[in-house]
Amino acid sequence: MWHSRKTTSKDDRTGMVATEATLGLHIDDKVNLWLGRGHMLIGELSRRTGVSTRLLRYYEAQGLLDVRRGSNGYRHYDDDSVVTVRQVRALLRAGLSTEVIREVLPCARGERPDIEWCAELWDILNDELAAMDDRIDDLQRSRSTLAGFLTRS
């Protein structure tokens, strides 16, 4: 239950009046309320990142996004979640799977993101690049075959 209190005092020396207001919250022992820096619910995170709530829940299920749950079951995120979602989006645009992104995220810094390199991560991303090159080669062969059909007609 919320309560507020307002007090007014007068400084006898200067004659100035000061007003102080306080807000308080009484929390039942059964209520698990997490209040912290940048506390937000899933709708706010969606608004701040432009990512649908459905995708945010998917990122959570894939282990890409940390979330705390209140006693009411609501998801609670902090400000770092905004950066994490932007990192995930950038890494997805780079063609990485969510499985690879889960391995890359601990080394990601900033929204861009910049990567703190380690030998394992270097190998993982080199393997991903080689697989992407193979897919591009396959697509170019398929394109040539299709173009050949069109030139024969």
Per residue in 52-104, pLDDT tens? 999 999 999 999 999 999 899 999 999 999 999 999 999 999 999 999 999 99
Q: Which domain holds residue 53?
A: 36-131
Specify whether the CB–CB gap between 64 and 101 falls below 8 A.
Answer: yes
The verdict on residue 81 lying in a domain is: yes
CA distances from residue 7 to 12, 20, 22, 70 in whole angstroms, order as listed: 16, 5, 9, 34
pLDDT band, very low/low/confident/very high, at 118 (cuts 50, 70, 90): confident
Specify whether the CB–CB gap between 24 and 5 falls below 8 A.
Answer: yes
| Segment 22-56, tens digit of pLDDT | 555 444 323 334 445 558 999 999 999 999 999 99
Residue 151 scores a pLDDT above 50: yes
Residue 115 scores a pLDDT above 90: no
The verdict on residue 152 lying in a domain is: no
The verdict on residue 54 lying in a domain is: yes
d(CA 64, CA 57): 10
The verdict on residue 124 lying in a domain is: yes
- Other beta carbons within 10 angstroms of residue 37's beta carbon come to 7
